[in-house]
Amino acid sequence: MTQDLEGTVALVTGANSGIGEATARALAGHGAAVALAARRKDRLDALAAAIEGEGGRVLAIEADVTDRDVAIAAVERTVDDLGRLDTVVNNAGVMLLGPIPDAPVEEWDRMVDLNVKGLLYVAHAALPHLSRAAEDGPRRVADLVNVSSVAGRRAAAGAGVYNATKFAVDAFTEALRQEVTASHVRISVVEPGAVATELASHVRQEVRDTMMRGLSDIERLEAEDIADAIAYIVTRDRRVAVNEILVRPSEQVR
């Protein structure tokens, strides 16, 4: 793999599993120093040790990004310990599917708090550092990649509040892109279809038994497929902004 991110620093939220873990490994493979943010400390430490074992430079940050102060502190700690911030992958998210009328509203709070508010907190705290990186960094460009979903493009019964959070991510991404792109801070969104990760394991069993049966019949994406898309975005030359990538399993219809 080429070391095209050598000298840069990346922060990946939700780095403990799935897409975040695969992305952290991919960016480290491209030569970036990587800060890993998530809640389960034991898993963070294990991933950090694995990346270090492959020659990467890494920082494990135990952080619940739904807490605004903690989200800000995760960004600041990345800059303090690794020296700068060139790339942010706003990936932490939760998908608690189910029909709206009988939903436990606590599930909605969890999705809005993480998928929307956590992502906003990290983005806002990171922006001054990304601007600096675009001015004086080795690549003279910086990246914020927000992980949305196919659910951010197309609403469906049973996914209403998850849809609402991911539509919010897409809208925020496009508005922020217009505000800062001229300064070479690129703002992008990645919209995966079904990926084989821990994400669906948090969905209530009765919802899984009814709504999600069809998805297990298709060959889902691997987390590495989405990490590839993210790595593609952040390794482009500074003149190229890949604003949006939608990646579905080839068998996924909607």
Kindly report the number of other CB atoms within 10 A of residue 209's CB atom. Answer: 10
Q: Which stretch binds ligand NAP (CB under 6 A): 47-55, 60-68, 100-108, 246-254?
A: 60-68
Q: Which residue's structure tokens are 């690549």?
A: 139
Q: Which stretch binds ligand NAP (CB under 6 A): 87-95, 96-104, 126-134, 205-213?
A: 87-95
- Give the CA distances from residue 15 to residues 62, 165, 221, in Å, rounded to whole numbers and listed in that order: 10, 20, 18
Contact between 86 and 8 under an 8 Å Cβ cutoff? The reply is yes
Contact between 44 and 92 under an 8 Å Cβ cutoff? The reply is no
Q: Which of 162, 188, 193, 249 is catalytic?
A: 162
Of 92-121, binders to ligand NAP (CB under 6 A) are: 92-95, 114
| Residue of the chain from 27, 61, 65, 116 that contacts ligand NAP (CB under 6 A) | 65
Least distance (Å) between residue 117 CB and ligand NAP: 10
Q: Is 173 in the site for ligand NAP (CB under 6 A)?
A: no
Q: Which residue blocks in the chain are alpha helix, DSSP H?
A: 18-29, 41-53, 68-82, 105-111, 119-136, 160-180, 205-211, 223-234
Active site (annotated) includes residue 232: no
Burial class (CB in 10 A: 0-12, 13-18, 19+), 40: exposed
Q: Is 222 in the site for ligand NAP (CB under 6 A)?
A: no
Beta-bridge partners for 37: 13, 61
- Measured CA to CA, the distance from residue 199 to residue 10 in angstroms comes to 23
Q: Is 89 in the site for ligand NAP (CB under 6 A)?
A: no
Contact between 238 and 184 under an 8 Å Cβ cutoff? The reply is yes
With respect to ligand NAP, which residue has the nearer C-beta, 134 or 162? 162
Least distance (Å) between residue 195 CB and ligand NAP: 4
Site map for ligand NAP, 10-49, x if CB under 6 A? ---xxxxxxxx----------------xxxx--x------
| Residue of the chain from 52, 54, 198, 251 that contacts ligand NAP (CB under 6 A) | 198
Contact between 142 and 149 under an 8 Å Cβ cutoff? The reply is no
Binding site for ligand NAP (CB under 6 A): 13-20, 37-40, 43, 63-66, 91-95, 114, 147, 149, 192, 194-195, 197-199, 223
Q: Which residues are catalytic?
A: 162
